[in-house]
């Protein structure tokens, strides 16, 4: 196969996966017009339309999807084997893309990556903040971070954090006007700060447990966000009760800006895990990253 044909196929894979000429061009480091010209030439050479283009989106045709499904895994395998060649280098090298929530990045990933990046200057790490349940294979991530109970069964995983509890917190000014809840059911009479789930579109249901009794509460309130860091700021200013990871609340609890309630109903949740498909195991750079992130009791 001619080299230009391989480059054209790589261009097609990028556009089909990104569903955007703009995003694919930026990823490949070429202009959008050059990428569009490459795809038109490929379609003309094959005599088949591979992509449907509109002013708002790009999608694969039936023929394009068949081509994508047939060739993309082979190129992925080639990429993985090229990454594996770094085992013969003096130091591991390569690029690793990870998707994780803002809390996982702030609390777990970045504190460990500060040392890792200094120890491995030839390894590049890209962190993408996403609080949803991203399909890392479809979205071309090397790994993702989820809490243990949310892991996909077909993925390999490594624990990277201890178990941790969530905390229901509110400002002293809020409790000056509202009695503290004594049972999770009391929350239905309180103003709470909701958190939107990007994957499913609904609000997160607050979950509690005590003495084997599990309770799930759908809370209501004037404010909602999609990050625990915004929720904690709003709670500190008296806009309602927030349900956030304990470490996020600790500085506010320590200086009295927030008070904690229902602590006996919030046992630790399963901690964060790094998860990834089996094809990533062959990369020395990825192995080094997993070892650096792995939680050790």
Looking at the fold, whether 252 and 183 belong to one and the same domain comes out as yes
Answer with the one of 62, 84, 106 that is the final residue of a domain.
Answer: 84
**Mean pLDDT calculated for residue range 118-130:** 93
Answer with the one of 84, 117, 146 that is the final residue of a domain.
Answer: 84
Does the model's pTM come out above 0.75? Answer: no
Torsional class of 188: left (φ above 0), alpha (ψ -120 to 50), beta (otherwise) = alpha
pLDDT tens digits for 180-235? 999 999 999 999 999 987 655 688 899 999 998 999 999 999 999 989 999 999 99
What per-residue confidence (pLDDT) applies to 106?
Answer: 94
CB atoms within 10 A of CB 34: 11
pLDDT tens digits for 56-68? 678 888 888 888 8
What CATH number is associated with residue 262?
3.40.190.290
Cβ neighbours of residue 92 closer than 8 Å, sequence gap 6 or more: 86, 120, 122, 123, 283, 284, 285, 287, 288
Looking at the fold, whether 264 and 276 belong to one and the same domain comes out as no
Looking at the fold, whether 108 and 140 belong to one and the same domain comes out as yes
- At residue 76 the predicted structure's pLDDT band, cuts being 50, 70 and 90, is confident
What CATH number is associated with residue 63?
1.10.10.10
Q: Which domain holds residue 80?
A: 6-84
- At residue 4 the predicted structure's pLDDT band, cuts being 50, 70 and 90, is low
For residue 50, tell me if it sits in a domain. yes
What per-residue confidence (pLDDT) applies to 86?
Answer: 58
Instruction: Note the helical H segments in 98-208.
Output: 102-104, 110-119, 172-175
**pLDDT beyond 60 at 273:** yes
**Mean pLDDT calculated for residue range 41-68:** 84
The span from the CA of 84 to the CA of 93, in Å, is 9
Q: Tell which wins on pLDDT, 10 or 117.
A: 117
């Amino acid at each position: 196969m001619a080299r230009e044909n391989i480059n054209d196929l790589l261009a097609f894979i990028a556009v089909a996966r990104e569903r955007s000429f703009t995003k694919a061009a930026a990823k490949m480091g070429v202009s959008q017009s050059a990428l569009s010209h490459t795809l038109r030439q490929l379609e003309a050479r094959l005599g088949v339309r591979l992509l449907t283009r509109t002013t708002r989106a790009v999608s694969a045709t039936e023929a394009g999807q068949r081509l994508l499904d047939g060739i993309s895994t082979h190129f992925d395998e080639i990429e993985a084997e090229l990454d594996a060649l770094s085992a013969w280098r003096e130091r591991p090298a390569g690029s690793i893309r990870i998707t994780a929530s803002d809390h996982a990045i702030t609390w777990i990933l970045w504190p460990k990556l500060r040392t890792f990046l200094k120890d491995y200057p030839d390894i590049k790490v890209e962190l993408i903040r996403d609080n949803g349940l991203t399909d890392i294979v479809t979205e071309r991530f090397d790994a993702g971070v989820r809490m243990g109970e949310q892991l996909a069964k077909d993925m390999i995983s490594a624990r990277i954090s201890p178990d941790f509890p969530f905390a229901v917190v509110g400002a002293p000014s809020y409790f000056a006007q509202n009695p503290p809840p004594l049972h999770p059911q009391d929350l239905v009479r309180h103003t709470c700060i909701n958190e939107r789930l990007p994957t499913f579109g609904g609000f997160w249901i607050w979950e509690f447990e005590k003495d084997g009794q599990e309770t799930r509460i759908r809370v209501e309130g004037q404010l909602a966000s999609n990050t625990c860091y915004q929720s904690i700021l709003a709670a500190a200013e008296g806009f309602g009760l927030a349900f956030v990871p304990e470490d996020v609340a600790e500085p506010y609890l320590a200086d009295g800006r927030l008070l904690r309630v229902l602590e006996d109903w919030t046992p630790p949740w399963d901690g964060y895990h790094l998860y990834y498909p089996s094809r990533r195991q062959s990369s020395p750079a990825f192995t080094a990253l997993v070892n650096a992130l792995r939680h050790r009791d």
